[in-house]
Each structure stands twice: as C-alpha cells, then as structure tokens.
Amino acid sequence: MTDPLQTILLTGASSGVGLALSRLLVPLQRYCLILTARATSIPRFAEAGIHETDRIRLRPLDVTDDDQRVAVVDEALRDWDGVDTLVNNAGIAYRAVVEHVTDAERMEQMGINFRGPMALARLVLPSMRAKRAGRIINVSSVGGMMAMPTMPLYSASKFALEGATEALSYEVRPFGIYVTLIEPGFINSSSFQNTHYTSQAAHSENDPADPYHHHYRNMAPFIERTMGLSLATPEKVARRILHTLQRRRPPLRVAGTPDAVIFDLLRRFLPRRLYHAMLYRSLPGIRTWGREGPHDAT
C-alpha cells in the first residue's frame, strides 16, 4: 500500500527562494502542491516552466487578505484532506529609519511578515491536530536575531515571527506537529535587493541636508555589496528548506546560510555589551552619520 500524497502550501512561490523551492518540489510525485503568489505575479510560474496539473495548483494569495487565506486552505481541505506542510515564505522589506515610517507602512510590513503567516498557521492547525501530524516552516532571517539600522521595520516583523514561532512549536509538539524557523543571512540574488523605501526614506537618501542622509547612503550600498559577495543562493536555501520539511523530527531553528551560523555564534557567546559595540563600530561610514555634507563611505 502506497503512502498518501502530502500536501504543501507555499507562499511567495514565484520569486527568489520560493521559486527555487517550487522548482525542487514540482518533480517530486509524493507531493500535492498549492503554490501561491500575488495575483500580479502568477504569470511568473509559466515563465519558469511551472504549470497546473492534477497535483499542482497555482493560486493568487495576498497573505494579508482574510478571504484569500481561507480560500486556499479550504481548497486543500476539500480536495486533499488539508495542508500537511505550510511554508510561510512570502515577505517584504522596507528600508527606513524609525522616524521615516508611517503607521500604514508599519502595518503593511507586519501584516505580510508576521500577521499573515500566523493567520495561515491558525487555519491549517485544526486539520493537522486531527491527523496528529504536520509541518509549519516559517522563513525568517538573521534580521530576526539581530537588528540593522535603516531596517527596523523588517527586524521588528522577523523578531515577532521568531517569538511567535518558538511559542507555537511548544504548543503543538504534543499533537505531532513540528514548527521550524529557517534563518537565512545574506543571499546573492537580485530579488533580495529589491528593498522598498518609504517616501520619507527615499527623500532623505537624496537630500544631503537630511539628518539621516548618510545612514541611507552608507547602509544601502553596503548591504547590496555584501549580498553580491555572498556564496549563498536562493537554490541553496531552498535545498535547506526541502531537507528540513523531509526530516522526521526537524529542529526549531535552521541556519539558512553559512553567515547565519556566524551571526548566531557571535550573538550567543560574546558578552552583550561587546557584541553591540562591535556591531556599531562595524557600521559602514559610522563616523559620518549625523554630520552634514557628503561623507559617503568608500
């Protein structure tokens, strides 16, 4: 007797790590897949050679939309006895200092990176509990273990995701459900350099007289250069996720890239005061921050 097919619901499946994971999953006949993306991104699946079959569904999903979340989970329940593995991969990153963030921008960041994943987890958990089995994989970031200037919203959303995921793992382990955080660091991919600026942040970066001008002018190129030098790719991170969801007893945290291991070790073993002092002094062009005039780091 063959084992029943396992159903995987993957968000943010049309680009970056999500698309790389989709490509790994599609050939595996043991899985039924619901691959989701924003409605405007659905054509990317065809461009990547991914099409619907009897076990592959391509569905529009804005993870902040209540009705769309319910629709994809109900479809899995109706046709495939529910979701066996949920991979919350959809995410967004705003670049802005705290002063340059509006309430609406804050809500959007938290909605996509935190509230949406938690809402999907709530929807899939009842059927997982009934089967006493299931996997929930939340794609976090080193931004969920350490905060970077000009990225406070992103870190706040990932810190929230990490805390809720850790608590959830304890809550549902007695039902045979395993919850895991994937924590990538810098990834060499153009899709990861598409960070959104708030309107105030964009103005500040282009205005040398703005008090935060040098924060942006130094941090943005530094992060982009670091990503460009990284040996980690979306494909490598996707393989880590696939390996994790196939493990019998996956751990709570999985480093998605080699630098994530280093960041975690520094955070855990260095004295806290030394750790923060090192991070501050290593910020690009830090001596120019808060000063007037064009002092960009070279």
**280 flagged as catalytic:** no
Q: How far apart are CA 285 and CA 239, in angstroms?
A: 36
Q: Over pLDDT 90: what percentage of the chain?
A: 87
Mean pLDDT estimate for the chain: 94
200 vs 295, which has greater pLDDT? 200
> What is the residue whose two structure tokens read 């899939």?
124
CATH topology of domain 6-202+232-260: Rossmann fold (3.40.50)
Catalytic residue among 14, 22, 140, 141: 140
Per-residue pLDDT, 297:
47
Catalytic residue among 141, 157, 158, 178: 158
Q: Which contacts of 39-47 are long-range, i.e. CB under 8 A and separated by 24 or more positions?
A: 41/14, 41/15, 42/14, 44/14, 44/15, 44/19, 45/13, 45/14
Q: What is the pLDDT of residues 23-64, one digit of tens each?
A: 999 999 999 999 999 999 999 999 999 999 999 999 999 999
Task: Name the band, by pLDDT with cuts 50, 70 and 90, for residue 292.
Answer: low
131 is catalytic: no
pLDDT score of 229: 85
Is the predicted pLDDT of residue 193 greater than 70, yes or no? no
Q: What is the spatial distance between Cα 128 and Cα 81, in angstroms, rounded to a whole number?
A: 10
Which among 154, 178, 197, 216 is annotated as catalytic?
A: 154
- Per the annotation, the verdict on 157 as an active-site residue is no
Residue 72 has pLDDT above 90, yes or no: yes
What is the reported pLDDT for 226? 87
pTM tops 0.85, yes or no: yes
**172 vs 223, more confident:** 172
Cα distance between residue 67 and residue 116, in whole Å: 12
Average pLDDT of 4-14?
96
Kindly tell me if the per-residue pLDDT of 223 is higher than 90: no
In the predicted model, is pLDDT for residue 1 greater than 60? Answer: no
72 residue type, one letter: V
> What are the φ/ψ torsions at residue 63 (nearest 5 degrees)?
-65, -10
Q: What does the pLDDT look like over 84-115, one tens digit per residue?
A: 999 999 999 999 999 999 999 999 999 999 99
| Domain coordinates in residue numbering, the chain | 6-202+232-260
* Residues 247-288: tens digit of each pLDDT: 999 999 999 999 999 999 998 999 999 999 999 999 999 999
In percent, how much of the chain has pLDDT > 70? Answer: 96
Least reliable range by pLDDT among 108-112, 119-123, 292-296: 292-296
SS3 160: helix
Asked whether residue 214 carries a pLDDT value surpassing 60, the answer given is yes
- Assess whether pLDDT exceeds 50 at residue 298: no
The answer, yes or no, to whether residue 294 has pLDDT greater than 70, is no
**25-30: long-range contacts (C-beta < 8 A, 24 or more apart)?**
25/242, 26/50, 26/56, 29/55, 30/3, 30/5, 30/6
Written as six digits, the tokens of 37 are: 């993306």
Beta carbons of 187 and 229 less than 8 angstroms apart: no
pLDDT of res. 231: 86
Name the CA radius of gyration of the chain, rounded: 20
